[in-house]
Amino acid sequence: MKLENDRLCVEITEQGAEVTRIYDKKKDTELLWNGDPAYWKRHSPILFPNVGKTYHNTVCINGIQYPTSQHGFARDNRFKCVRETADTASFLFSSTEETKEVYPFDFDLTVTYRLEGNSLLVKWEVQNTGEEEMCFTIGGHPAFCFADAADEKKDYILKFPGKSCLDYILINPAELAADTEKVYKLELEDGRCPLTEEMFKNDALIFDRGQISEVWLCHKDGTPRVGMKCQGFPNFGIWSVKDAPFVCLEPWMGRCDDIGFDRELSEKPNVNKVPAGGIFEQSYVIVAG
């Protein structure tokens, strides 16, 4: 389906409620990655009920170990469009007997997209329709393409307004989990740092403690291409594939497990907890430069 206003044209599929296109009409440019499987087949998947990997691909809930898949199952299931106007659409995915085999909670996950001028609002609502407290992590994973397919990472910078330095951690390749023992510095000049291939040689950069509430992908001369505003997110990821002409800016409510995490899901740092009958809400905004 399509949402459109004077500035943007957005296309969304019911498969995963995934945005597959963001076109900036004013600048005649595509902003979202096209999903070329030569690099990465997705565009902007929703990560639920887990962001990234759980330790050893299992999660403990009420003393029972359940198998998990990377980034959860929402992105691989079909949502139902439950609201549609010229500039707004909402999609619903509810728990099933199949999902409860790996995640034993009853829920309704609603994803709403709304155009507002040069911005696309992305809103998540998770309603606990069961009778016990529900725990989960949830995140966005939009990939923003470069202006030209021949462009390289060195042709772009990232801008973090108001920041002089950020710290991040990486995934341990042997454990496939976050290594919190090694912390790295991302030094910024006037809030900016160059985008390079070297940045992603060890997978994603993981930023904790709510450090990032706004970030922009800009041309090398500082001209903004596309930005993200994400107040209230404790975790954030930045990721790309070798030689790929895109970068993912990922706002997360919770993230992958740390090395050695083997406790109850309810004890996981930054896990979201919703009481029976309760509703969790969070949103972020994609802005055309």
CATH number of the domain within which 14 lies: 2.70.98.10
Domain count, the chain: 1
Asked if residue 55 lies in contact with residue 43, where contact means CB atoms within 8 angstroms, the answer is: no
Reported pTM: 0.97
| pLDDT of the residue at 163 | 98
Identify the band that residue 265 occupies on the pLDDT scale cut at 50, 70 and 90.
very high
pLDDT at 289: 96
Tokens of 218: 């800009």
Share of the chain above pLDDT 70, in %: 100
Q: Is the pLDDT of residue 149 over 90?
A: no
Which of 164, 152, 160 minimizes the C-alpha distance to 240?
Answer: 152
Could you tell me the residue range of the domain that residue 35 belongs to? 2-288
Q: In sequence order, what are the residues at sequence separation of 6 or more whose Cβ sits closer than 8 angstroms to the Cβ of residue 29?
A: 23, 147, 225
pLDDT tens digits for 26-47?
999 999 999 999 999 999 999 9
Q: What is the pLDDT of residues 152-173, one digit of tens each?
A: 999 999 999 999 999 999 999 9
H-state helical runs in the chain: 97-100
Q: What pLDDT sits at residue 161?
A: 98
Q: In the structure encoding, which two tokens stand for residue 85, read together? A: 């106007």
What digits encode the pLDDT tens for the residues 59-71?
Answer: 999 999 999 999 9
Instruction: Write down the pLDDT at residue 246.
Output: 98
Give the count of beta carbons closer than 10 Å to the beta carbon of residue 93: 22
Query: Average pLDDT in the 89-98 region?
Result: 98
Query: Residue 252's CB: how many other CB atoms inside 10 A?
Result: 24
**Count of beta carbons in the 10 Å neighbourhood of residue 203:** 16
203-215 mean pLDDT: 98
- Report the pLDDT averaged over residues 219-236: 98
- Helix, strand, coil share of the chain (percent; to 5): 5, 50, 45
